[in-house]
Structure 1
Amino acid sequence: MSVATLKAALPPYARDLELNLDSVLAGELLGEQMLWGAALASAMTTRSAVVIRNIAAEAGDHLKPEAAEAAKAVASRMAIHNVYFRAKHLIGDEAYAHLPARLRRQVTSTPGVGAADVEAWSVAVSAITGCGVCLESHERSLRGAGVSREVVDEVLRVAAVVHALAVTLDAEAALD
């Protein structure tokens, strides 16, 4: 199982998706760890079993075990935070902004996994779930650490393409 398996499963109408998948996984702007951690965290966020299995298999060739575990931890943690902070924002009552979250956040870095990788993976997950509060916070952290807008933009492209891959493949499975 691999990205090649996913590409082979794409229907002819999804040629643009296949081309974009090749482009984002070439990783011209992102280091290997940031790229494959973003792909893995994004895949987990899509909830698509086929995409998760195949991206995880391929990511295992590019990530050390501790980086893969950290990317999965980011997806898990952000599943909590994205819902909570997006909901507080959408309620529209500023008083909620002053209430403490009381949500644990232990995964900020792991030996061999820097804070910039964790923040980039958090941006990818937040883009898929549509949490503007989390996107702003994690993008600000990345930019504050000296990460360029081009790198942030590339992380967003990875998230968008992995999400589109899951949407397309799951839709095709439902149509069969």
Structure 2
Amino acid sequence: MSSIEQLSDRIPDFAKDVRLNLSTLMADETFSPQRKYGLLLASAIATGNAALIDAVESDACAVMTSTAIVAAKAGASVVAMNNVYYRFAHLVSNPQYKTMPPRLRMNVIGNTGMDRSDFELWSLAVSPINGCGACIDAHEKTLRVEGVSSEAIQTAVRFAASVQSVAIAIGAGRPNPSQARG
């Protein structure tokens, strides 16, 4: 039994749909195993749920190169930074901030050691979890230029949505400490 399967068993019954969605995505063959597990890993990192990150990374090690695992982690971290910055620039009412350079180091984007479309797909998956419309648009546009289909892009976002819901479900399924005291 894989770590993701073990984690799936921890999803509470109130989140049966979440468990079924995860199962469906794990069986999905839209992407290569490396692309698929990169999506899962980057999305898990974006949720911040340690149990989910550990489970996904454990399984990812069997199908991803070490370079790809590092790229998924780097993508999740640099995209999280960009998501905060660009969400601010988009939401603040003062238009001056949209014209100012971010002055944030993000060299990893141009030097991942990975196929650009894989890295962009992983970056796209992180952006809806973090709620940045500007980054979603930028990654989607780059993916389309790279020749990635709308269906593949939608599937990547379905992965992100499902991973986020798993994080919420396993977090909500923890025993309540006040109830455990009896």
Smaller-chain TM-score bracket: over 0.9
In 2, distance between residues paired with 1:175 and 1:136? 39
Percentage of identical aligned residues: 38
Alignment TM-score, normalising by the size of structure 1: 0.94
Aligned length, in residue pairs: 175
- Residue 105 of structure 2 aligns to a residue in which SS? coil
Name 2:49's counterpart in structure 1. Answer: 48
Residue matched to 1:26: 27
Query: Is the CA contact (8 Å cut-off) linking 1:30 and 1:154 kept in structure 2?
Result: no
**Structure 1, unaligned stretches of length 5 or more?**
none
Corresponding residue of 2:149: 148
How far apart are 1:105 and its partner, in Å? 1.3
| Correspondence for 1:118 | 119
Query: In the aligned structure 2, how far is the partner of 1:143 from the partner of 1:84?
Result: 24
Instruction: Give the whole-Å Cα distance in 2 for the aligned partners of 1:174 and 1:162.
Output: 21
Deviating beyond 4 angstroms after TM superposition, the runs of 4 or more aligned structure 1 residues are none
Q: Which amino acid aligns with 1:114?
A: D
What letter corresponds to residue 98 of structure 2 in structure 1? A
Amino acid at match of 1:6: L
Structure 2: gaps spanning 5 or more residues:
178-182
Q: Which sits farther off after the overlay, 147-156 or 25-34?
A: 25-34
Between structure 1 and structure 2, the one with the greater Rg is 2
Partner of residue 136, structure 2: 135
TM-score normalised according to structure 2 size:
0.91
User: 1:45-75 CA deviation, whole Å, 9 max, x = no partner?
Assistant: 1011111111111111111111001000001
1:44 aligned partner, one-letter code: I
